[in-house]
Amino acid sequence: MKQEIRIVLVGESGVGKSTLVTTLIKDSFVSQVQPLVPEVTIPPEATPEKVTTHIIDTGIILKKFALIYFSLL
């Protein structure tokens, strides 16, 4: 059985990735969020399956690296 889960949010800019993470933490919709939310770690006791869960937001910096990576292929 997995001891840790890592969820990486990827998608076009403006689709609501950072809002999704912030809404989860605050338990309500936040209209003004920072462009890149720091990694969130949910302890096992706070999850239904008792597994440490990491949520990783991504943004323009990762996208730039991806573009460089794919342009080198």
Ligand X SMILES: Nc1nc2c(ncn2[C@@H]2O[C@H](COP(=O)(O)OP(=O)(O)O)[C@@H](O)[C@H]2O)c(=O)[nH]1
Q: For binding to ligand X (CB under 6 A), which residues are involved?
A: 11, 13-19, 31, 33
Q: Which position has the token pair 């991504």? A: 58
Q: What does residue 27 show for φ and ψ, rounded to 5 degrees?
A: 65, 25
CB of 51 to ligand X, least distance (A): 25
By CB under 5 A, residue 22 contacts Mg ion: no
Applying CB under 5 A, the span of 2-10, 21-29, 51-59, 65-73 interacting with Mg ion comes to: 51-59
CB of 54 to Mg ion, least distance (A): 17
Instruction: Give 4-34 as a DSSP string.
Output: EEEEEE--STTSSHHHHHHHHHHSS--SS--
